[in-house]
Structure 1
Amino acid sequence: MRIDAVSVLTRTTCGLLGLFAAMVAGCSSVDYQKLVTGQLSGSLFVMWVGEGNNSGDGNFLFVPDPRDPLIFHRSDKGSPGSTIQPGLMYTDGGSIPKIAQVFKGLSPWGYAPAYMVHDWVFIAHHCIVDGSTEYRFDQVRGVEFDDSAAILGEAIKALIKARQVAPDDVAPGAITAAVASVVAKNLWDEKGACQSLQVSAKDVAAAEAAIPGSTTKARNLRAFRVPETTVTAVPPSKPAKIVARVTF
């Protein structure tokens, strides 16, 4: 989720410093191995909406499927964030630094559904902290920092259980540790970030053009169909592409 010269996902994942701090120093407060397995359902769409900045790979948008939304359920229904349904948001997947992407399991899109859930938790948290009372964030109210890391780990375990990804001895634990690190905690504690996380009107229009009903409640879900690979964003007239779809 890169916007202008600053990666907004530095607020939602930990980046290079946090990743290696967690892997090397073991500073995480959440143990991936002790987490229970959650459940993922629905479809995932990611759409390219712009070239991004000089150091980025582009701007991407998670677009909810109005007919089959991505939903994560925690095993313990009494846990904070027991049910999470991500909304329209910018994303760059796992925000894994390029230098770390050479390692198995550290692709920025390898655990994409889990990353979308975690991104939404962070975005909702920042907006709640900044005083938002929007109902779309209600599922995340009460979620604390350690809960956010546990949710990511539980979602990764859900992907492995569903055989959407192969088991890995290192990556899931390293990623969960990274988002539970001190660096990530500092980002979690930031205030005033909500406004910069909002999707622009132009990109909202692009999402609606690509997947009708994704930004408004579809009147007739039976009419929903998967869009063509390339659609036209309105306004302005600029190509918007669906770059990934995963269905559970």
Structure 2
Amino acid sequence: MLATHLLVGCTTIDYASLKPGGFKGTLIVMWVGEGSDTSGDGKFVFVPDPRNPLTFTRPGDGPAKVIRPRVMYTDGGSVPRIAQVFKGLNPWGYAPAYMIHDWVFTAHHCIVDGKSNAQYDEVANIKFEDSALILGEAIQGLVEAKLVRRDDVAASAITSAVGSRIARNLWDVEGACARDKVSDTHLAQIELAIPGSTELFSARRGSAPKEIRKIAPSAKPARVLSTLTF
């Protein structure tokens, strides 16, 4: 029943046939605030390590050969709570893969809203169907790196779910760039926790790290929840 529910209305993607992509760098996830009815257990932010930023290299010759996610809000895999009890289906089970997929959506939303920035150029040619393939390639990469166990049922269901009609409707939604922009206060918290970590983000906001820290002088450092280095 769970698999059927997740796959209804989905674009067919043969997860088993996807080749693995390659990760490099360090993933950092921070907690910056309490959750809510819509955001779950907390407000989480992906942060690139300023000395060793996370990158994902796709296999083959598809669009966006190398993807470098920037600072952004993230909720992991957005898996419904009722499904999280099943093996492989929890919002952080494939966290590095989710970060790549989240950034593809985040950058695309800003492109849809007419925002121009070199940060978005590397993903500008990605189509919706590519976004689902990229997640599958990233999960395959985690399996090949032996960071997660092979679970074709969960991985296939997740890959197909991000190709669903619901996900497709979210792909071209307007107004999401401004809505999802990391707040000044949270940027200050991030910068206090890891100095220089907002540098890759500053071009979009027009603020240097030192200026960001001045925005919210009473802010306390964000809490680093997880780091993973490839």
TM (normalized to structure 2)? 0.88
Q: Distance in 2 between matches of 1:90 and 1:30?
A: 27
Corresponding residue number in structure 2 for 1:135: 118
Q: Deviation at 1:163?
A: 0.5
For 2:25, which of 42, 59, 67 is the aligned residue? 42
Corresponding residue number in structure 1 for 2:157: 174
Asked if the contact 2:188/2:216 (under 8 Å) is kept, the reply is: yes
More helix by share: 2
Q: Which runs of 5+ in 1 are unaligned?
A: 1-16, 218-232
What is the aligned residue count?
214
Q: Deviation at 1:101?
A: 0.3
Change (3 A) 1:87 1:132: same
Asked if the contact 1:90/1:199 (under 8 Å) is kept, the reply is: yes
Q: Distance in 2 between matches of 1:146 and 1:200?
A: 30
Asked if the contact 2:9/2:165 (under 8 Å) is kept, the reply is: no
Asked if the contact 2:67/2:122 (under 8 Å) is kept, the reply is: yes
Q: Which runs of 5+ in 2 are unaligned?
A: 201-214
Q: Distance in 2 between matches of 1:243 and 1:42?
A: 17
Q: Deviation at 1:70?
A: 0.7
Q: Deviation at 1:22?
A: 3.7
TM (normalized to structure 1)? 0.82
Q: Does 1:194 align with 2:187?
A: no
Asked if the contact 2:192/2:220 (under 8 Å) is kept, the reply is: no
Please show how residues 34-183 of structure 1 align to structure 2 within 5 Å: 34-54=17-37, 56-76=40-60, 78-183=61-166
Q: Distance in 2 between matches of 1:21 and 1:188?
A: 21
Q: Does 1:246 align with 2:228?
A: yes
Indicate the RMSD between aligned Cα atoms, in angstroms. 1.9
Q: Deviation at 1:26?
A: 6.5
Query: Which SS does the other structure have where 1:194 is aligned?
Result: helix
Q: Distance in 1 between matches of 2:217 and 2:155?
A: 40
Asked if the contact 1:30/1:146 (under 8 Å) is kept, the reply is: no
Asked if the contact 2:192/2:221 (under 8 Å) is kept, the reply is: no
